[in-house]
Amino acid sequence: MSDVQTSPLDSLMADQEPVVNDFQIMIATVNGSGSQTANSTLLRAIFRMGVPVSGKNIFPSNIQGLPTWFTIRLSKDGYIARREDYHILVAMNLQTVEEDITNLAVGGIVLYPEEWKIKHKRDDVVYYPVPVKALVDESGTPSSFVSYVSNMVYVGVLATLLNIELEQIEYALNFHFSNKPKPVNMNMALVRLSYDWAQDNLPKNDPFTVERMEGKTDGMLLLDGNSAGALGTAFGGVQVVAWYPITPSTSMIDALRTYLSDMRTNPDTGEASYAIIQAEDEIGAIGMLVGAGWAGARAMTATSGPGMSLMTEFAGLAYYAEVPIVIWNVQRVGPSTGLPTRSSQGDVLAAYFLGHGDTKHVVLLPSSLEDAFEFGWKSFDLAERLQTPVFVLSDLDLGMNLWMGKLFEYPDQPMDRGKVMTAEDIQRAGEFARYKDVDGDGIPYRTLPGTDHPDAAYFARGTGHDEKAIYSERPDDWVANIERMNRKFDTARALVPPPVVDEVAGTEIGLIAYGTTDACIVESRDLLREQGIETSYLRLRALPLSDATRDFIRRCDRVYVVENNTDGQMAKIIYMEYPDLAPKVKSIAYLDGMPLAPRWLTRAVQEREQER
Amino acid sequence: MGTRVNQIGLQRNDYKGRPSTLCQGCGHNSISNQIIAVCYELSIEPHRIIKLSGIGCSSKSPAYFLGRSHGFNALHGRMPALATGAIMANRDLTGIGVSGDGDTGSIGLGQFKHMVRRNVPMIYIVENNGVYGLTKGQFSATADIGQELKYAGLNELPPIDICLEALAADVSFVARSFAGDAKQVRELLKAALSHKGTAVLDIISPCVTFNNHETSTKSYPYGKLHEEALQDITFIPEYDPIIVDVHEPGQVQAVRMHDGSHLVLRKLDPVKHDPTDKLAAFRLIEEARIENQFITGLIYVDEHRPNLHETTHLIQAPLVHLTEADLRPSAEALDRVLGEICCQ
Ligand SMILES: Cc1ncc(C[n+]2csc(CCOP(=O)(O)OP(=O)(O)O)c2C)c(N)n1
Ligand code: SF4
Ligand SMILES: [Mg+2]
């Protein structure tokens, strides 16, 4: 085994203050090499030590061979946004090692397989060569498992270097493998071996360390947003799911299938109180939802940009025929196939206006696990109350990465099935007219197929219709119906989840954001405060906008709308809705495939402020 | 006034829809009338039916029958998906889908085949006239090769055969008929209503405005002259005792439908087609195409293929009848799942 190589910074390192629970680990691997187990094990073990963490997987659109990076951010202050710099590099991909080292922070450390020859060595970072192959050989791992297990070497070495408790690593492995002893033991054996090797052979020459913390992660869980949304969907009482596979939404349906088969299948008969259908395409998927929603079921799908494009015509039909359905769009980068494995907030305008003619939709904007869970069930209540499609715009960052979140709260309201008339209701009312505004809120009453009353039936259609759903080309019928639907859209403004406002007295600057950008805003506001810039913050949770947003903008002198797309899509909606306030509203929009980073946003706001 | 009623006390009028706005003499109207007649005759409760359609003259027709049944006029070519969703949501409903040859054979061919492949329990009628009626007379994909129309010109492409497409997608019930043969349409409709999977009825339904010249195989004059029925079909509901006169073996075949009703097929064709033989069905269609024959009747039936309710292991109760207690798992269930996620 080789000697440990050290840099000329040795002396400097020795005097350095320890860096505790506030750095980022970057693990560079080759896609398909099974590093997910190792990475999530590390993440969970650190989380179990009470340290706030967040993990992001930056992966290619490829099954095997292209580079993949996984970042684990530790933040004693609880920040979970993307951090651009990294301090600990686990270099396990020869293709990218040079570039990965170039981007490492000064004073950072590099773990790499000892047999690699690294050409351009920096003298301001610490190198730890690791005998990966020798350790794997020594562990006696059966050859068919080597590729799965060998990543445990860096888990064990990091455990020594950073002081990660082995007990928590074992716990995390048990979690990962659902307590199956065989894989847990096999992986743990290599972790221990590597841990011991590092204890004996690797003199620590860097300041980074993990220390147990109290009170920061109590009662929190670590989960991906797709699972959180799926769990919420299950607690929304979903009945029909139709879908077509597309990254990054697929794992939401996978999770939903797991939850439903656990909670909604009769263990004796194997019969399911729900249907999941893998459709032939997204047109078929949404078509099935429209049929199911019309028949009275809670129906949902999960897709991403290209799939949502295909759903356009049906979204317009569901809007105009007034059929409740729920569509999750876990956004990735477009236009077109774009960057299929990168995150964006690029489908805001497309979702809001999906469909030809004067179509507009209710859109929910989750920014956390808690939101994803809540919108999972609440989206059905809104769809059925409003008799309209509800879009939930998540994104790859929320959907596929691991986030900390508070334990989800059980729905605080019973299921709202909306205005449905039974045969008895029709008898009592003496009339049923499908598209009549009985209550003045623009929301009509509906009957479900199968209602046993001679006046219950109506012919749903995408063509012009009168109050009784009868075909009509009369201008007055058309206008009356559309005006009622616009009234309904105004009713929606008050029903959708209101924005969350944190207003700081005396500040002139407002920030508006939504979705996963929230994590960036939270940290950036603190950074700005350090620079003497105080901001108020409004986090949108839904479209259409409500008075709260208009009033917030009015109270501010200037407002920056921050979003992870290029065109400033939410800013445009705000300009459209409140043209009189538009001069106050500025767009800060950027998209390169990565979630927005707080330091970048802080600089962007500072620059805008200086330009004034 | 002594108006006649059926077994559930409804008059024939109770099965009608709004007045048709299709052209006088359009084949689609005649099919609507047979649907009305059959539902009245079988005393079907209208609220148990849902009517589904795509876009086209044919797809408008559900407005003109069964006014007491819910219906959904969907998108062009996309009715199969919508029907699938509705029928999964409420398995007590009987779906009657009406489509056109454009709706099914072109824009909707994919959805059609996937519906058939899933064996969604419903009737799927293609009112096949060889043209796009509603957009005024373009050729559809079922038009004959070499056919000439004043507006559309010469069709140089071979036709898509709806029955063949259905067979290739493993259909469990497929028949061809002719709007001018009212009795056969009725008996096939009755059989289709008793079928447990997708029942495809490809009914030649002349467009009197754009494609009714006697040289067109989709016209009334041609159909009247050339129709060769495979069988004389009699549908025997489950509540009628079945008396099959099997004096001439090979001449008469009884097919038991899954609900206990029977189809009695008195064979008229020289080869005595056996509609439970899938290879024979393929051969029948291909030979008829080569010989320019207009054969009608039951082409293939398989009462054993599992339908979509079975392959998705759906509970017996319609999903839409489930209450909040059935649908929303308990607070304890949430605690349990969260406990598994946190494992604290
Ligand atoms: C997406 C879409 N494309 C085109 C149309 C226009 N369109 C309406 S009906 C029709 C053809 C209908 O033909 P067919 O299904 O044969 O019905 P028929 O009118 O002949 O009964 C077309 C192309 C449409 N409604 N939607
Ligand atoms: S145009 Fe043809 S298909 Fe349409 S209603 Fe008239 S006859 Fe029927
Ligand atoms: Mg046609």
Q: Is residue A10 over pLDDT 60? A: no
Angle between helix A166-176 and A152-162 (nearest 10): 150
Backbone angles phi, psi at B314, to 5 degrees: -75, 145
pLDDT in tens, B19-31: 999 999 999 999 9
pLDDT in tens, A165-221: 999 999 999 999 999 999 999 999 999 999 999 999 999 999 999 999 999 998 899
Q: Residue B142: give its domain's CATH number.
A: 3.40.50.970
**Does residue B136 line the site of ligand 1, with CB under 6 A?**
no
pLDDT in tens, A264-310: 999 999 999 999 999 999 999 999 999 999 999 999 999 999 999 99
Looking at chain A, which residue has its C-alpha nearest residue B338?
A407
Q: What is the domain extent for residue B162?
A: 12-311
> Torsion-angle region of residue A178: left (phi > 0), alpha (psi -120 to 50) or beta?
left
CA-CA distance, B126 to B99, in Å (whole number)? 5
Q: Quick check: B314 and A271 CB within 8 A?
A: yes
**Does residue B76 line the site of ligand 1, with CB under 6 A?**
yes
Helix then strand count (H, E) for chain A reads 22, 24
- What's residue A404's pLDDT? 95
CA-CA distance, B214 to B217, in Å (whole number)? 7
Give domain status of residue B293, yes or no: yes
Q: Is residue A1 over pLDDT 60? A: no
Contacts of A347 (CB under 8 A, 6+ apart): A305, A308, A329, A331, A334, A393
DSSP-derived secondary structure letter, A202: -
Q: Is residue A97 over pLDDT 60? A: yes
Q: Where are the beta strands (DSSP E) in A12-134?
A: 19-20, 22-30, 53-58, 67-75, 88-91, 109-113, 126-130
pLDDT in tens, A452-499: 999 999 999 999 999 999 999 999 999 999 999 999 999 999 999 999
Summary mean pLDDT of chain B: 95
B75, B93, B337 ranked by CB distance to A313: nearest: B75
- What's residue B239's pLDDT? 74
Q: Which of A459, A465, A468 best tests the B interface by mutation, with the highest count of B CBs <10 A?
A: A459
Q: Is residue A578 over pLDDT 90? A: yes
Q: Quick check: A457 and B316 CB within 8 A?
A: no
Q: What is the mean pLDDT of residues A49-75?
A: 93
Q: Quick check: B70 and A277 CB within 8 A?
A: no
Q: Calculate how close chain B gets to A271, using CA atoms only, in Å.
A: 5
pLDDT in tens, B234-280: 999 987 766 665 556 678 999 999 899 999 999 999 999 999 999 99
- What's residue A272's pLDDT? 98
Q: Is the ipTM of this complex over 0.90?
A: yes
Reported as type and span, the H/E element at residue A502 is strand A500-502
Q: Calculate how close chain A gets to B313, using CA atoms only, in Å.
A: 5
Instruction: Report which residue type is found at A18.
Output: P
**Does residue B103 line the site of ligand 1, with CB under 6 A?**
yes
Q: Is residue A12 over pLDDT 70? A: no
Domain count, chain B: 1
pLDDT in tens, B114-124: 999 999 999 99
Instruction: Report which residue type is found at B91.
Output: R
- What's residue B344's pLDDT? 44
A500-611 CATH pick, 3.40.630.30, 3.40.50.920, 3.30.420.140, 3.40.50.11540 = 3.40.50.920
User: Does the structural domain A10-216 have CATH classification 3.90.550.10?
Assistant: no
Summary mean pLDDT of chain A: 96
pLDDT in tens, A234-244: 999 999 999 99
Among candidates B131, B124, B116, B221, which has minimal Cα distance to B178? B221
pLDDT in tens, A550-571: 999 999 999 999 999 999 999 9
Give domain status of residue B257, yes or no: yes
- What's residue A349's pLDDT? 98
CA-CA distance, B37 to B55, in Å (whole number)? 24
Q: Is residue B125 over pLDDT 70? A: yes
A234, A408, A414 ranked by CB distance to B329: nearest: A234
Q: Is residue B342 over pLDDT 90? A: no
Q: How far is residue A353 CA from its own chain's centroid?
A: 22
Q: How far is residue A99 CA from its own chain's centroid?
A: 28
A223-406 CATH pick, 3.40.50.12780, 3.40.50.970, 3.40.50.150, 3.40.50.300 = 3.40.50.970
Give domain status of residue B23, yes or no: yes
pLDDT in tens, A115-168: 999 988 899 999 999 999 999 999 999 999 998 899 999 999 999 999 999 999
B67, B81, B314 ranked by CB distance to A457: nearest: B67
Among candidates A391, A448, A393, A449, which has minimal Cα distance to A418? A448
Give domain status of residue B327, yes or no: no
A10-216 matches A223-406 in fold: no
Reported as type and span, the H/E element at residue A101 is helix A97-102
- What's residue A8's pLDDT? 52
- What's residue A13's pLDDT? 58
Residues of B within 8 A of A447 (CB-CB) are: 70
Sorting pLDDT into bands at 50, 70 and 90, what band is B127? very high
Sorting pLDDT into bands at 50, 70 and 90, what band is A2? very low
Give domain status of residue B120, yes or no: yes
Peptide bond just before A67 cis, omega within 30 deg:
no
Each domain of chain A, given as residue ranges in start order, spans: 10-216, 223-406, 423-495, 500-611
CA-CA distance, B176 to A304, in Å (whole number)? 41
Q: Is residue A63 over pLDDT 90? A: no
* Token output for A15: 């005097």
Q: Quick check: B334 and A271 CB within 8 A?
A: no
pLDDT in tens, A253-273: 999 999 999 999 999 999 999
- What's residue A448's pLDDT? 98
Sorting pLDDT into bands at 50, 70 and 90, what band is A3? very low
